[in-house]
Structure 1
Amino acid sequence: MRNGERIVKKSLATITALVAALAMTGCAANESSKPESGGTSSQSGQSGSETTASALSGTFAGAGASAQEAAQASWIAAFQEKNPDVTINYSPVGSGDGRKQFIEGATVYAGSDSYLKDEELEGTFARCADGSKAIDLPVYISPIAVVFNVEGVDALNLDPDTLARIFKGEISNWNDPAIAALNSDATLPDSQITVVYRSDDSGTTKNFTDYLHATAPEAWPAEAEEAFPGDFAGADGAQGTSGVISSVTNGQGTIGYADASKIGDLNTVALKVGESFVKYSPEGAAAVVDASPMVDGRSEHDLAVKLDRATTAEGAYPLVLVSYLIVCESYADEKDAAFVKDYASFIASEEGQKVAAEGAGSAPISADTRTAIEAAIASIK
């Protein structure tokens, strides 16, 4: 059993209640004239502790998942407070573009809602030392909410088959018998369904389509993909998480999917799990992650999780994303390595996970997950 497999054996502790979101700081408070990379290492990022004076300095770039945007803003603000000579710029360009930028060497880390593909691991990584590959660290757990905006409807139950048929365009009217049968108390309008999907390559889309394929394979036979197959009448593409939320909010008869931390006041679907309908929650998402196995065939410190979407465990919410911090096993530049080790250590620490829970509504990782991530970070050179 690999070290990372221990993360699947225990349930998460009770999740910290969601609190008011931290003010987002994007490219954060330390914008001043600093070199584009470089610095010296410190002990400031080590797991969850009070810190000593930091010797780390420089400007460092990351890019990737828009689902991580609020968490990254919170992590960056807290880390820069401890490390005042560091500036971190995170660009929420989407998981696919974020991995591409990291592979090409434009950034020192990536955020991604899907782990590295086998074909990506077979290639080279510009910032990594010769012969070194990248690893996936599962630092952010969040439910994906199915959001809708239908006049006169504030609660909606859907089973996987009906949801899949809606997002394929096979069910195109809100008072369709399949929807009505699951929502006897709702007054469903005789109006067109407008499906809003991510137009960019997205880990959120990959997680969503993976859920549909795992739970409704007859209705959704296609394997998970980062590009949504939205080529049917009544489907509108939108760029990024914010684009989906804006389109659903400003439309009528709309339905879409997005990281739950970004949905605001939109109504959400309760999904059928076993014999119950379950609304999204960080607790439900975290329970699924800890009950899922690791991806086979990865290196010792690559902690990619194979989510069990078909679970029927009580209270579990299987439409969940695990968003990864993607970093090099070994960096060509020791200054990059020093920064990444400190920043990744802070993100995975109890303090870092609390910051993300408060700022983004995510589910803190379990103690077993943290142990595996810490071992992976310690191995970075």
Structure 2
Amino acid sequence: MKRSTLAAAALPAAVVLTLGLSSCAANEQTGAGSTATGSDGASSAAAELTGTLNGAGSSAQQAAQQAWIAGITGSSPDLQVNYDPQGSGAGRTQFLSGAVQFAGSDAYLKDDELTQAQTRCEGGNAIDIPDYVSPIAIAYNLEGVDDLKLSPETIAAIFDGKITTWNDPAIAADNAGVSLPATAINPVHRADESGTTANFTDYLSKASNGAWTYEPGQEWPASGGEAAQGTSGVVAAIGATAGSIGYADESQAKDLGHVQVKVGDAYVGPTAEAAAKALDEATPASGRPAGDIALDINRTPTATDAYPVILVSYLIGCTSYADAADAANVKGYFTYVTSEEGQQAAADAAGSAPLSESLRTQITTSLESIKTS
């Protein structure tokens, strides 16, 4: 068992991250919000990026945001980008109210949010841009058990409170030859509205053959268990109590044990490579506005080396901004983050799966729609 001493691992609930974007070269095109793309897909902003750009949302993206800071801070001293990882739901609420220029979210905008965004976006649309693909670790704290395998049905029963001890026959059936203690199970879930919860409950709903009876959603639906605020809160709660199990972005749960989930006849752990395999089977969500790249994940993949408990996290922005600087800054920031350079920085620091070249090509086209109203 990878047991942590989590005093240092518990991050503040709200951290403001500051980063800079690269300035334009003198020979680039000019015009508010225009960009030029280098050979690696990274953006050189056409208009000089200045002022302050504020975003809020997904706590799962926190480690990636820190990597992007390390890669580009200081390149454009006249621009400050602040990102507050207070959770996907809170980030979308702030974006839709106009409090921030962009949001980070582990769930794409719902239909009613897209309608609401037309006012916030000056008559334009809000668009979801994939920027961070990561496995959600089903993380556990169980002394003496370093290798734990679970089927989707068993995972669903654990989080629904129907399996209450670690030596339950259903757990033993997935772990032949493993000595399982009679320790009580403490399932930990998010207390706040969370895109990670939306993805985890979507997995439980679609992969458990009816064992999970709740609708997928951003609020935890089942009674019982322990609730914790944010990704860091869940990780800290699991580490603090023996017998705990919960779900969190893999990048922030590295000191805990990770469940291998059953896919077909195989068991697969949460790695970037296995997450990328699952992403290959994602399909475009239907009924989305032009430029939106929302994806639906196949939670029962055909590839038995794919890890289906993943999240595709998004940057959410407007196609139209009243302020030309906002349009230029959002476009420049989104372009850097989704570039080959930005994606590699996040992969190195957070273990995320870089976006495919074909997906980045779609993103480049979508970002051309960002303009001044």
Alignment TM-score, normalising by the size of structure 2: 0.88
Q: What is the aligned partner in structure 2 of residue 258 from structure 1?
A: 248
Asked if the contact 2:188/2:245 (under 8 Å) is kept, the reply is: yes
How far apart are 1:48 and its partner, in Å?
3.7
AA partner of residue 326 (structure 2): D
Determine if contact 1:196/1:244 at 8 Å carries over to the other structure.
Answer: yes
**How big is the shift at 1:78?**
2.7
Whether 1:199 and 2:211 are equivalent positions in the alignment is no
Which whole-Å CA distance do the structure 1 matches of 2:100 and 2:325 have between them?
13
Q: Distance in 1 between matches of 2:37 and 2:75?
A: 8
Preserved contact between residue 26 and residue 89 of structure 1 (Cα < 8 Å): yes
* Corresponding residue of 2:278: 288
Kept in 2: contact 1:54–1:83 (CA 8 A): no
Instruction: Establish whether residue 117 from structure 1 lines up as the match of residue 110 from structure 2.
Output: yes
Q: Distance in 1 between matches of 2:246 and 2:237?
A: 9
TM-fit CA distance, 1:52: 8.7
Q: In 2, are the aligned partners of 1:27 and 1:87 still within 8 Å (CA)?
A: no
Q: How much has 1:348 moved relative to structure 2?
A: 1.0
1:350 aligns with 2:340: yes
2:84 maps to 1:91: yes
User: Is 1:213–2:205 an aligned residue pair?
Assistant: yes
Measured after TM superposition, the shift of residue 124 of structure 1 is: 3.5
After TM superposition, list the pairs within 5 Å mapping 1:281-360 onto structure 2.
281-360=271-350
**Pick from 225, 230, 234: which aligns with 1:240?**
230
TM-superposed deviation, 1:54: 7.8
Rounded Cα–Cα distance in structure 1 between residues aligned with 2:164 and 2:182: 10
Cα distance between partner residues in 1 of 2:70 and 2:97 = 26
1:271 corresponds in structure 2 to 261
1:378 maps to which residue? Answer: 368
Q: Deviations over 1:117-160 (max 9, x none)?
A: 1111121356521x212010111100000000012111100000
Q: Does 1:72 align with 2:72?
A: no
C-alpha distance in 2 between matches for 1:336 and 1:29: 15
What is the deviation of 1:170? Answer: 0.4
Q: For residues 311-343 of structure 1, what are the alpha-carbon distances to aligned partners after superposition, in whole Å with 9 as ceiling and x for unaligned?
A: 131310011000000000111211110001111
Distance (whole Å) between structure 2 residues aligned to residue 191 and residue 78 of structure 1: 44
How big is each residue's C-alpha offset from its partner over 1:280-317, in whole Å with a ceiling of 9 and x where there is no partner?
A: 11111112112211001112211000111111313100
The letter of the residue matching 2:232 is S
Is 1:139 aligned with 2:94?
no
- Distance, in Å, in 2 between the alignment partners of 1:268 and 1:374 is 35
Structure 2 Cα separation of the partners of residues 29 and 301 of structure 1: 26
> Cα gap change, 1:196/1:79 in structure 2, threshold over 3 Å: closer, same or farther?
same
Aligned residues: 347
Q: 1:166 aligns with which of 141, 147, 158?
A: 158
| 1:56-110 deviation line (CA, Å, top 9, x unaligned) | 1111110000001111122234333221111111001100000000000111100
TM-score in terms of structure 1 length: 0.86
CA contact (8 A) 1:198 1:205 kept: yes
SS, match of residue 64 in structure 2: helix
- State whether residues 191 and 229 of structure 2, in contact with CA within 8 Å, keep that contact through their aligned partners in structure 1: yes
One of 79, 95, 106 as aligned partner of 1:102: 95
Contact 1:116 1:136 (8 Å CA) reproduced: yes
1:177-223: CA deviation from partner (whole Å, max 9, x where unpaired): 00011112211111210001000010000000000000014111222
Q: Identify unmatched segments of 5+ residues in structure 2.
A: 1-14, 21-30
After TM superposition, where is structure 1 displaced by more than 4 Å over at least 4 residues in a row?
39-47, 49-54
Identity value in percent: 49
- Partners in 2 of 1:52 and 1:124 — Cα distance? 25
Aligned to 2:6: none
